[in-house]
A = this chain, B = another copy of it.
Amino acid sequence: MSELRQNLATKEWVIIATERAQRPADFDDPRRPHTHARPSRVETCPFCPGNEHMSAPAVLEVLQDGRWQVRIVPNKYPALADHGGVERRLDGTARWMSGFGVHEILIESPEHNTTAALQEDPQVARALRALRQRQQQLERDPRLMMTLCFKNHGSAAGTSLEHPHCQMISVPVVPHHIRQRLADALAYHDERGTCVYCDMWRQELDAGLRVVAEGELFVAFLPYAALSPFHIWILPRRHAPIFTQISEPETEDLARVLRQVLARLYYGLHDPDFNFVIRSAPTHEEHSRSFHWYLSIVPKVTKIAGFELGSGMFINTALPEESARFLREVKLAG
Contacts and interface: CB of A to CB of B under 8 A. Distances in A.
Contact of A185 (B9, B14, B177, B303): B9
A306 B7 contact: no
A227 B12 contact: yes
A305 B158 contact: yes
Contact of A277 (B152, B279, B309, B318): B309
Q: How often does this chain occur in the complex, in copies?
A: 2
Q: Which of the listed residues A15, A158, A185, A310 has the most CB atoms from chain B within 10 Å of its own CB?
A: A310
A55 interface: no
A279 B156 CA distance: 27
Contacts of A94: 203, 224
Contacts of A5: 224-225
A93 interface: yes
A226 B14 contact: yes
Contacts of A200: 8-9, 93
A254 to B, nearest CB: 17
The 5 A-B pairs with the shortest beta carbon distances in the complex, nearest first, are A177-B312, A158-B305, A150-B306, A277-B310, A5-B225
21 contacts: A6-B225, A8-B188, A8-B200, A12-B227, A13-B313, A14-B227, A16-B318, A18-B318, A19-B317, A79-B315, A92-B199, A93-B196, A156-B303, A169-B307, A169-B311, A171-B313, A276-B306, A277-B310, A279-B310, A296-B309, A298-B309
Given A9-B200, A16-B319, A176-B312, 12 more contacts: A8-B200, A12-B314, A14-B313, A18-B319, A94-B224, A149-B310, A152-B305, A157-B306, A158-B306, A175-B311, A296-B310, A298-B309
